Every structure is written in C-alpha cells, then in structure tokens.
C-alpha cells in the first residue's frame, strides 16, 4: 500500500531497511591490514638460535680478556699485534685468500656464463664436478698431496710445494668451487643473460669487455658472496696446511700458540669471527642496495 501523494508507505520503508541490513550482514568484510604478530614458535626458534651463537661467543670474549694474573685486560690482543709470527702468518693467509678468491671467480664466472649460453646440456655435469670437493674429505686430499710432495721431483717441489702461497692456493681454489659455483649460478639466473650478451656483442664489445663491464656489474652481489665464502674457507682451513707442514699460515699458528698461550689463540679466534661478521654484514648491505635498484648496470 502507498501513502497519500504516491510515496512509499512505512511498511515498505521498513522492509527495505531490513533487506539492507541483511545484505550488509551477509557481505564479506574486507580483511584488516594490521601488522600480524609473529607466531610464538618462530620467536622461540630465533631466540634459541641467537643464544646458541651468542653464549659461546661471549664466553670466548671473556676468556680472551683474562690475563695471567687473573684480572681482565687486553694483553692478549696487544700481543697479537706485537707477535711477529702472528703478523706474518696473518699476512700470508690474507694473500692466499685474496689470490684464491680472484682465481676462483676468474675461472667459474666465465664457465657459468658459457654453460648457460652455449652448453646448457652440461649443467648437470658441471654441478656434479663442482660438488666433488664436498664429497672427498679434505684429509684425503691432504694425504694425496703429501704423498705427491714426497715423491715429486725436486723442480716440482721448488715450484709448487716450497711455499704456502703456491702450495695451498690451487687446493683452496678447488675447495671453494662448490660454494662459488652455486653463488654465481644463482646470480646469473636472476638476470636476462642472453639479452645482455646479445646487446653488448651487437654494439661491438668483445667477450672480455662483455664479461667485465656488462655481466660482472649485474651479478656483483653473487660475486661478493662467492668472494667472502672463499676468504672464510681459506682463513679457517687447517687440515691441509697442518698435514703438509705449512707453519706460516694463521690456522696452524693459532694451534701452536694455543699450546703455550691459549688466551692469545682465543683472541685471534674472536677477531676472526668479528672479521667474518663484518664481511657478511657488508654483503647484506650491498645486497639491499642492489635490490633497491632494478636497472641494468653497465660500466
């Protein structure tokens, strides 16, 4: 029924209002975009992992600060600077790490690019070859090299085994290959490699120029990650150097010092952990800046 003047009656208005209320009640509400709280088990795992690494590190720092008279001080750290053997072994290990990092990048980056562009069928074989250093224990490699060193001619011993720099660097390059290959392969997969190479070659650039000025800037995060992993391997490897009697490198020097002055050895370990942490922190910072820029980089 209608009211006078043709307007809707009160019953019709009440029915329309009821229909609107039913529709609003049945309509799905948009989800709230508030910040969700992390689940309790995730927080627990992070706390346990943090304590798992922090407690031993704090104990090592405390032990490294204990002086012979029982007080706390920085004598162990000052002796690291004043000890000529420690300084010499540190320089040698840093030289080996730098040369190994440059060599493994110079070998693996062109190999990864070549396989991705021209020989994709060899990807599985390359992955299998690069994983062999993880399958073969380092002590087996050290025993083989020690046997070769004992039976090699004199000229080969003078050329290869006479100094830690020449004796350990090729082996460390092989040990770093599994980590370097996977880091570089991940970086190469993340870019449009074929388009970059075709554009560079069509503009007249050589393969060397394409590799250095086009591909390398676009995979710099992967390259830095591979370099840092190689440095960590070279600075911490002790099996090869001790079995082959290379006493002039830092890990072997730490063992020898630890037998006489454990506090100095622990102080060197603390400094090494801080050094690796700074490397990883710088890699995370560079990777964050790299993700913020999506443009193709050419130098």
Which pLDDT belongs to residue 225?
86
Which pLDDT belongs to residue 85?
84
Q: Answer yes or no: do 113 and 73 share one domain.
A: no
Closest to 104 measured CA to CA, from 241, 242, 228, 287: 228
The verdict on residue 31 lying in a domain is no
- Tokens representing 149 are 């060193």
Which pLDDT belongs to residue 297?
54
Which pLDDT belongs to residue 33?
54
The verdict on residue 142 lying in a domain is yes
Q: Answer yes or no: do 150 and 190 share one domain.
A: yes
The verdict on residue 181 lying in a domain is yes
Q: Answer yes or no: do 67 and 174 share one domain.
A: no
pLDDT in tens, 184-228: 999 999 888 899 999 988 988 898 999 989 998 889 888 988 998
End-to-end CA distance of the chain: give it in Å, rounded. Answer: 82
Q: Answer yes or no: do 257 and 148 share one domain.
A: yes
If one counts the domains in the chain, the total is: 2
Q: Answer yes or no: do 183 and 280 share one domain.
A: yes
Q: Burial level of 130, CB count in 10 A (0-12/13-18/19+)?
A: buried
Q: Answer yes or no: do 101 and 73 share one domain.
A: no
Which pLDDT belongs to residue 288?
62
Ranges of the chain whose pLDDT falls below 50: 1-8, 10-16, 18-19, 22-23, 25, 27, 294
Task: Identify the domain containing residue 63 by its residue range.
Answer: 41-77
Which pLDDT belongs to residue 6?
44
The verdict on residue 102 lying in a domain is yes
Which pLDDT belongs to residue 12?
42
Q: Answer yes or no: do 228 and 113 share one domain.
A: yes
Which pLDDT belongs to residue 148?
86
Domain boundary at 23, 51, 77, which?
77
Q: Answer yes or no: do 133 and 266 share one domain.
A: yes
Provide the CATH number for the domain around residue 268. Answer: 1.10.3720.10
Q: Answer yes or no: do 62 and 108 share one domain.
A: no
pTM recorded for the entire structure: 0.75
The verdict on residue 276 lying in a domain is yes
Give 36's DSSP letter.
P
């Amino acid at each position: 029924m209608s009211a006078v003047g043709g307007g809707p009656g009160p019953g019709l208005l009440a029915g329309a209002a009821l229909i609107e209320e039913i529709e609003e009640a049945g309509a799905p509400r948009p989800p709230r975009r508030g910040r969700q709280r992390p689940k309790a088990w995730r927080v627990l795992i992070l706390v346990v992992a943090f304590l798992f690494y922090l407690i031993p590190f704090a104990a090592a720092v405390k032990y490294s600060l204990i002086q012979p008279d029982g007080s706390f001080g920085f004598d162990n750290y000052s002796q690291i600077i004043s000890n000529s053997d420690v300084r010499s072994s540190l320089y040698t290990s840093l030289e080996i790490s730098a040369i190994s990092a440059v060599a493994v990048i110079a070998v693996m980056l062109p190999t990864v690019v070549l396989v991705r562009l021209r020989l994709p069928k060899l990807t599985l074989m390359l992955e299998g070859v690069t994983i062999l250093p993880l399958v073969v224990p380092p002590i087996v490699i050290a025993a083989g090299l020690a046997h070769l060193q004992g039976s090699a001619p004199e000229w080969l011993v003078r050329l290869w085994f006479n100094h830690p720099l020449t004796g350990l660097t090729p082996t460390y390059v092989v040990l770093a290959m599994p980590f370097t290959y996977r880091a570089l392969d991940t970086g190469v997969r993340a870019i449009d490699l074929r388009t970059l190479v075709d554009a560079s070659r069509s503009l007249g650039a050589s393969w060397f120029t394409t590799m250095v000025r086009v591909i390398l800037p676009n995979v710099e995060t992967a390259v830095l990650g591979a370099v840092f992993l190689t440095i960590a391997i070279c600075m911490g490897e002790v099996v090869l150097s001790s079995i082959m009697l290379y006493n002039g490198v830092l890990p072997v020097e730490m063992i020898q010092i630890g037998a006489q002055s454990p506090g100095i050895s622990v102080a060197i370990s603390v400094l090494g952990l801080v050094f690796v942490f700074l490397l990883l922190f710088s890699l995370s910072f560079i990777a964050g800046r790299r993700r913020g820029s999506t443009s193709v980089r050419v130098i």
